[in-house]
Structure 1
């Protein structure tokens, strides 16, 4: 799965002011990623506000990204949930021919045991016709996928090829990197610790900040993978303030505000999310203006 090494971005779903899906803006955003060095695109992840999209809107988003991409980059599709049967049925019935892999989040709300998590992903792996990327994000799911569970899954199922590790715990990430089977990818799901994870042996990132600053963030990751540490950290520190700001009042409200300032899309989010406040909006604009002026 070398196509998943480097920087992937979790695409937003841009909305018009009437809250309908803005396919023209989504096409612009896809092209912006491709033109600025991103390695792959993730469709219908958390950042896409998937929980607020109807089945018809999800199909529209998928087709829009496929059409805009034109086969240029690998695509990853978010297919996850806390109803194992429903996830399995989607994997069995959806046409996944356009996708290199699926990204499947650890079950949320139910708070399963580690054995429950293992059995969930056993069912997912058995049903999926394409490779599976596990997604551990305890801040959203209220349960952590322990490294032993991840390594067990990676060893038991050849088509479980990677994990997006978003616990924000560099020690846990290092345990995964140390004990993973050969070829299994540990992908950062936390923008702020992406570079330390890459330098520890990680394979890259599925990013939110990379969507707003794709050229610089993807270059940072490539420098890290090539062990050009000083150059990589120079880019990390240029972007670190923005990383904090885009998550300060929730995701994707922050990154959508960045896109609005860049003229790529509206800043519209759907309830229960709300726009960032004026103070944060002004700080983001100031950062963008300064960043661009510095080149």
Structure 2
């Protein structure tokens, strides 16, 4: 899965001021990623506010991204739920011809055991017609998919090819890198520790901050993959403050404020999310203008 090495971005769903999907802004955001060095795009992940999209809106987002991308970059589709059967049914009926893999989150809210997590992904692996990327994000799911469970899944199912590891724990990530099957990809899901994970043997990132600053963050990732450590860390520290800022009051409220500063989209989010406050908006605007003028 060479197409999953490097910088992927979890695309937002831009909304107009009336909260409808802004198709033109979404097209502009997709082109912005492609024009600035991103390696692949992730559709309908958490950052897309997928939980608040209707079925029709999800199909509109998929259609818009697929058509705008026009096969220029590999696409990954988010297909996840805490209802195993629901995921299995979607995997069986959806046309995946435009996608190279699915990204599927560990079950949230239910708080399954490690065996429950294994059985959930076993069912997904057996149903999926394309490769599967596991997504471990304990801060959202209330359960941590342990390295032993991930390695077991990777060993038992050839189509489970990667994990987006977003526990924010570099030691856990290193255990995965050390013990996973040879071709299994450990992808960072935490922007702040992306570079250390890559230098430890990780395959790259599925990023939020890269969506706002694709040129700089993607360059950092590629420098890291090529073990050009000093140059990579210069870019890491250039962007570090912005990583803290975009998550300070929730995702994707922060990154949408960056898009507003870039003139690509409104900063509208849907309830229960709300916009960042004026102080953070001003700080993000200043930082975005600074990077844009470099």
Shorter-chain TM range is over 0.9
SS of match in other structure, 1:274: coil
Task: Specify the alignment match of 2:130 in structure 1.
Answer: 130
Counterpart-to-counterpart distance in 1, 2:89 and 2:161: 21
Task: Specify the alignment match of 2:250 in structure 1.
Answer: 250
Task: Specify the alignment match of 2:64 in structure 1.
Answer: 64
1:288 aligns with 2:288: yes
Which string of whole-angstrom CA distances, capped at 9 and with x for unpartnered residues, describes residues 182-233 of structure 1?
A: 1100000000000000000000000000000000000000000000000000
Task: Specify the alignment match of 1:38 in structure 2.
Answer: 38
Aligned residues: 294
TM-score by length of 1: 0.99
1:161 aligns with 2:175: no
Counterpart-to-counterpart distance in 2, 1:193 and 1:179: 19
1:260 aligns with 2:266: no
SS of match in other structure, 1:72: coil
The offset of 1:69, in angstroms, is: 0.0
TM-score by length of 2: 1.00
The offset of 1:117, in angstroms, is: 0.2
Counterpart-to-counterpart distance in 2, 1:291 and 1:76: 28
Structure 2: give runs of 5+ residues left out of the alignment.
none
The offset of 1:288, in angstroms, is: 1.4
> Residues 245 and 280 of structure 2 are in contact (CA less than 8 Å); yes or no, is this contact kept in structure 1?
yes
The offset of 1:122, in angstroms, is: 0.1
Counterpart-to-counterpart distance in 1, 2:288 and 2:60: 31
Which string of whole-angstrom CA distances, capped at 9 and with x for unpartnered residues, describes residues 127-160 of structure 1?
A: 0000000000000000000000000000000000
Task: Specify the alignment match of 1:278 in structure 2.
Answer: 278
1:19 aligns with 2:19: yes
Counterpart-to-counterpart distance in 2, 1:97 and 1:192: 33
Matches within 5 A, 1:1-295: 1-293=1-293, 295=294
Counterpart-to-counterpart distance in 2, 1:290 and 1:86: 45
SS of match in other structure, 1:20: coil
SS of match in other structure, 1:65: helix
Q: Cα RMSD between the aligned structures?
A: 0.4
> Residues 261 and 289 of structure 2 are in contact (CA less than 8 Å); yes or no, is this contact kept in structure 1?
no
SS of match in other structure, 2:77: strand
Counterpart-to-counterpart distance in 2, 1:54 and 1:292: 34
Structure 1: give runs of 5+ residues left out of the alignment.
none
Counterpart-to-counterpart distance in 1, 2:49 and 2:282: 24
Counterpart-to-counterpart distance in 1, 2:235 and 2:103: 27
Counterpart-to-counterpart distance in 2, 1:288 and 1:67: 28
Counterpart-to-counterpart distance in 2, 1:287 and 1:231: 21
Counterpart-to-counterpart distance in 2, 1:97 and 1:25: 25
The offset of 1:291, in angstroms, is: 2.1
Counterpart-to-counterpart distance in 2, 1:99 and 1:266: 28
